[in-house]
Amino acid sequence: MDFDVVVLGAGIVGVSAALHLQARGRRVALIDRRAPGEETSFGNAGLIERSSVVPYGFPRDLGTLLRYARNRSTDLYWDYKALPGYAAWLARFWWESSPRRLDAAARDMQPLIGRCVAEHDALIARAGLAELVHARGWMEAFRTPAAFARALKDAQAAASEHGLRATILDAAALRAREPAVGSDICGAVHWEDPKSVLDPGALVKGYAALFERDGGSSLIGDATTLRASDRTWTVRTEHGVLSAKEAVVALGPWSDVVFGPLGYRIPLRAKRGYHMHYRATRPMLSMPIVDSERGYVVAPMRGDRLRLTTGVEIANRNAPPTPVQLERVEPLARDTFGIGERVDPAPWLGMRPCTPDMRPVIGPAMRHRGLWFAFGHNHHGLTLGPVTGRLLAEMMTGEAPFTDPTPYRPDRFR
C-alpha cells in the first residue's frame, strides 16, 4: 500500500490526473468514496466545450439582476437560507465579472480551453471510447430576434478572434438541421468545434478502466482521513492505510473538506444543478442545444434518451433537493424540443465547484510539501479534466508545463 501519489477524487479531473501521472512513471492510487464517475462528472450536459472562450460571469445588466432578485427565473434559483453563507463569495464574483476582469479571465483560460478537445481525443483513443463521443458541436438557440442579433455579433467576434467555426442558422435552416426544434425558436448559432458525450459517467469510467488496465489502483476510501506524516501522506481505504509521497486533492465541490482542515482558505462554493432523462416525442436531436434565454440544455444521450440539465441553484451543499427548476423548464422544453415522459425515478442533483474569479485551482499547496490541488473548474469540469491532468502532471514531475500555470496558482486568494 505504498505509492508515489495518491489522488483524492475519481471524477474527470482526478482520473485524468491519475492517468497523466501514471504515463510519467508514477505509481498512483485513485481514492474516492464511490466508484469513478458517479458524482459531479456523471450529471452534466456532456459537452467538451471548446467554444466557451469567455467564462460565465455575474450578470451586470439591471434587467437580469431584477429578474434574479424576484427569484422566478428559469436559469437561477436561490434559497434565502443559503444567501448569508454565499454573500462574500457572490460579492467577489460580481467584482471579478467586470468587463476588464472578465476579459482577463478569458485570456487566462484560453490555453486550457484551446487544448481541451485534443487532450480528450488522446485519452479517448487510448481507452477505445470513440463510440461515446460525437464531433457535431452544439447549438445556442434563441427565442427573440433581439437576443439572436446580439448573439450573432458576439459569435462572429469570438469565432474570428479564437479561430472557431460557427454557423448561423435562421429558423428555416435550424429546423431543416434539427426537425425536433419547435417554432418558438427563431434562430441558433451552431458551434462546430466542441464535441458531445453520449454518457459522461461512462466516459469517466472508461478513463478509469484505462488507468486500472495500465496498472493503476482504484480504491474506496475516506479523503477526510488524509494526514501528513514523516514526509509522506496517509489515507484510510477499504483495504487499510495507504501511504504516498505526494497527494492530489481533486474532489471537486468537496475539496474543502480536505483543504479546510489543513488551514487553506480558498473561496470554493458549489453551484447546484439538476438533470432528468426523458423519452423523445419527436425526432432525436443530433447534438446538445441550449435554450439561451431560459438557461437550460437538452442533450441526446445513450439509449435514445434526452437529458435536460438545469441552470444554477444557490443553496447550501447539503440542503435537500428541490423540484423548482425542473418544474419551471419542463413545459418549455416539452414545447420546444419534444421531451416526453420522465425516465428517471427522481431528478439527479449535482454540484459545480466554482471559484469567484472563474479560474480553477491547479498547483502546489503553499504550506505542505507534496500536497497538490486540482479543483474549482466551475461549469467546465468535463471539458477541462484531461488538460488539467496534463498540466498538473507536468508540474509534479518537473517537466516544462505546456502553459504558464500562474493564473491557476492556489495562493492567489491569500
Tell me the pLDDT tens digit for each residue of 279-321.
999 999 999 999 999 999 999 999 999 999 999 999 999 999 9
Distance (Å, whole) CA 5 – CA 26: 7
Distance (Å, whole) CA 102 – CA 406: 17
At which residue does the C-alpha cell 500536497 appear?
371
Lowest mean pLDDT among 62-66, 173-177, 337-341: 62-66
Which structural domain, as residue segments, surrounds residue 214? 1-57+97-131+197-268+355-414
pLDDT band, very low/low/confident/very high, at 414 (cuts 50, 70, 90): confident
**Average pLDDT of the segment spanning 260-267:** 96
Please determine, for residue 382, whether its predicted confidence score (pLDDT) is greater than 80.
yes
CA distances from 186 to 73, 142, 150 (A): 21, 6, 13
In the chain, the percentage of residues whose pLDDT exceeds 70 is: 100
Q: Pick from 410, 353, 358: which is nearest to 14 by CA?
A: 353
CB 40, CB 10: distance < 8 Å: no
The domain that contains 412 carries what CATH number? Answer: 3.50.50.60
Please determine, for residue 1, whether its predicted confidence score (pLDDT) is greater than 80.
no
Residue 251 maps to a domain: yes
Instruction: Return the C-alpha cell found at 353.
Output: 465547484
Residue 146 maps to a domain: no
Distance (Å, whole) CA 161 – CA 254: 36
Three-class SS of residue 251? Answer: coil
At which residue does the C-alpha cell 518537473 appear?
398
Q: What is the pLDDT of residue 250?
A: 98
pLDDT band, very low/low/confident/very high, at 217 (cuts 50, 70, 90): very high
Residue 375 maps to a domain: yes
Distance (Å, whole) CA 402 – CA 262: 30
End-to-end CA distance of the chain: 35
pLDDT band, very low/low/confident/very high, at 379 (cuts 50, 70, 90): very high
The four Cα atoms 360, 214, 44, 301 give a dihedral, to 10 degrees, of 150
What one-letter code names the amino acid at 3? Answer: F
Please determine, for residue 201, whether its predicted confidence score (pLDDT) is greater than 90.
yes
pTM of the predicted protein model:
0.96
**Average pLDDT of the segment spanning 360-366:** 97
Residue 378 maps to a domain: yes
In the chain, the percentage of residues whose pLDDT exceeds 90 is: 94
Residue 161 maps to a domain: no
Residue 339 maps to a domain: no
Residue 283 maps to a domain: no
Distance (Å, whole) CA 312 – CA 310: 7
Lowest mean pLDDT among 24-28, 35-39, 171-175, 356-360: 35-39
**Average pLDDT of the segment spanning 172-178:** 97
pLDDT band, very low/low/confident/very high, at 41 (cuts 50, 70, 90): confident
Q: What is the pLDDT of residue 40?
A: 84
Name 364's bridge partners: 372
Q: What is the pLDDT of residue 286?
A: 97
Residue 219 maps to a domain: yes
**Average pLDDT of the segment spanning 379-402:** 97
Q: What is the pLDDT of residue 231?
A: 86
Query: Chain-wide mean pLDDT for the chain?
Result: 96
How many independent structural domains does the chain possess? 1
Where do runs of H (alpha helix) occur along 214-269? 256-259
User: Model confidence over 95-136: pLDDT tens digits?
Assistant: 999 999 999 999 999 999 999 999 999 999 999 999 999 999
